[in-house]
A = this chain, B = another copy of it.
């Protein structure tokens, strides 16, 4: 049977699935000699390999039968307790019984879409927003609505225009791609308005622990008891290859969330959950995170200095206070997608910003990651980028 005679008929939702633009761009940038500021990967220098090795040894010695067997769909009890305690410490009122361990926080996004998004219903997002969330929600066939915002995130008054949305998706801490952090006042105003409108919030927080100046304000969820779903991730603080995240959901929503999880993959690997819990219970993050923060902060500072030194007038950016990305606004007449091949030829890669918009993409934005490249190479790469931009403006 050839491809043209395949008996398979795709579901309508599958028509919407598209190859990731970023994935295609990353292929382009994998040329030798190119310094890539395009990736979104944490630095492997920060992986706590020795701690994970010791924890694995302990798990396979003490509880091999439990770690390798089928397990509860909810997740490993002590890891759920750890996640709940983390949230409680930030003022979010949740119990371990409201925590579902997921196969990375990407799965949390998929489950939220499965549970809450009907074909044709509205999903409100920031502009720009996290591409992976758009990808997770898209198969559930929503109409995306972009909420107007500024350098601090969505404008509270703009929520009225999306009051009929099934969810408002927010990434308050050091957003991917924009790097911006919502201040405490903005969070309070957004929570107030969402609460008044009965607009449910989905709060995604993969980067909250990666702060370089001061910790971010408490989550929006702390101000919206019962009115938000919170997504957490261990990918940036431990290691992405374990694929561990969690969802904290209102009591009313939890049973359906759990059933969706069970249908999706029965449960997240118990082996991985027990290893992660062993390192977390041992206080690893307290010892480990300061070093990760110091490394990333030095790289952030190098990129800030290089941007100031090399970018032409008319470029705008806000120094991120955490996370992994700078978001650069170029002069209006430059198109970051069109410029990318020239930049790659010159030896530097970035992600054009257009892919991060659910609606009305802006061509003159680009995302630069500072976490996987050394300060010296960041400086060299930004110098190359600056030269390309100046040439394009000349």
Contacts and interface: CB of A to CB of B under 8 A. Distances in A.
Contacts of A67: 241
Interface stretch (A83-91, A269-277, A286-294): A269-277
Interface stretch (A112-120, A152-160, A211-219): A112-120
Contact of A41 (B11, B41, B42, B70): B70
A74 to B, nearest CB: 11
Contacts of A13: 114, 118
Interface string A328-359: 00000000000000000000000000000000
A133 to B, nearest CB: 10
Interface in A103-137: 103-104, 106-107, 110, 114-118, 121, 132, 135-136
Contacts of A239: 68-69, 271
Contact of A243 (B118, B139, B267): B267
Interface in A22-49: 23, 40-42, 44, 47, 49
B256 A241 contact: no
Interface stretch (A1-9, A295-303, A315-323, A374-382): A1-9
How many of chain A's residues touch chain B, expressed as a range?
A: 35 or more
Residue of A67, A224, A243, A250 with highest tally of chain B CB at under 10 A: A243
The 4 A-B residue pairs whose C-beta atoms are closest, nearest first, are A1-B226, A68-B239, A44-B65, A3-B252
Interface of A: 1-3, 5-14, 17-20, 23, 40-42, 44, 47, 49, 52-53, 56-57, 60, 64-71, 102-104, 106-107, 110, 114-118, 121, 132, 135-136, 138-140, 166, 195, 198-200, 224-227, 235, 239-243, 250-253, 255-256, 259-260, 262-272
Given A107-B264, A110-B264, 11 more contacts: A11-B117, A20-B259, A53-B57, A53-B60, A69-B240, A103-B103, A106-B264, A110-B263, A136-B264, A265-B265, A272-B272
13 contacts: A1-B224, A12-B118, A19-B255, A41-B69, A47-B64, A49-B64, A52-B60, A68-B239, A70-B235, A103-B243, A104-B265, A243-B267, A272-B272
